[in-house]
Amino acid sequence: MSLPPQFLSVRLTHRALHDKADGRSENSMSAIKAAVVAGYGIEIDVQPSSDGQAMVFHDEELDRLTDDSGPIRNRSAAELGGIALKNGGGTIPTLKEVLQAIDGQVPLLIEIKDQTGQMARSDGTLETAVARDLGGYAGPVAVMSFNPHSVAMMSDLAPRVPRGLTTSAYDPDDWAPLSPETCDHLRTIPDYDRTGSCFISHEAADLRRDRVLELKKSGAAILCWTIRSPEQEALARKVADNVTFEGYLP
């Protein structure tokens, strides 16, 4: 399995084409629709609702992005669909709603957020919801996660959907509560083969890491996060096949 070619030719908007000044919150429906109109690919994040739906939202808690508070996983999809995003752009959408809005017009990269706090095996609720929503979706789509267990689970739940690992330099100071030992383990990207991955999306400042270059040489597609200027993009593209960007229009 390989990553559809659109993922290597169309730049990907980080959490969709969000812009606080224009009233488009990250991962909002308005940011998603703006990316489609502009012809950019879209990267989004998913978290689970209390009733097992995949919600398009980055954080585990509602506080930063809404005027509500508490864990997103404690609210039903219907409740979350009534919560306005703080910087505009609508309420918290479901993955199913986002898929309907994109309808295959641009590539969609879905990051499945870790539910364990330790990159451990989850109960599979979120992965099952994502696989269910992607059933029958015909557009270019791929899934990824920092948690290798989630990626491995997707290989069973949705084997035809391309999958990859979100990867990092894993500086322990930035990754609490992950233990330094877990950071050391994940930094080497040891799970690429066992998860059946065909790409990584790696931290842009760490693209020169030997393991990243080794994967690129072996045929892995290399994406990266998060690029915030044309200068950063030009530097990243010396290694990366494509970029995930925000804050400028490439």
Per-residue confidence in pLDDT tens, the chain, 250 aa: 899 999 999 999 999 999 999 999 999 999 999 999 999 999 999 999 999 999 999 999 999 999 999 999 999 999 999 999 999 999 999 999 999 999 999 999 999 999 999 999 999 999 999 999 999 999 999 999 999 999 999 999 999 999 999 999 999 999 999 999 999 999 999 999 999 999 999 999 999 999 999 999 999 999 999 999 999 999 999 999 999 999 999 9
Residues 5, 10, 13, 18, Cα dihedral to 10°: -140
Q: How far apart are CA 167 and CA 173, in angstroms?
A: 16
Reading the block at residue 100, the tokens are 């309907």
pLDDT given for residue 67 in this prediction = 97
Q: Which H or E run contains 64?
A: none
> What is the pLDDT at residue 10?
98
Q: pTM here?
A: 0.98
| CATH architecture of structural domain 6-245 | Alpha-Beta Barrel (3.20)
Spatial separation of the C-alpha atoms in residues 232 and 134, rounded to whole Å = 33
Q: Give the separation between CA 194 and CA 98, rounded to whole angstroms.
A: 30
Give residue 1's pLDDT: 83
Nearest-angstrom CA–CA distance, 206 and 164: 17
pLDDT for the residue 188: 98
For the chain, give every domain's residue range.
6-245
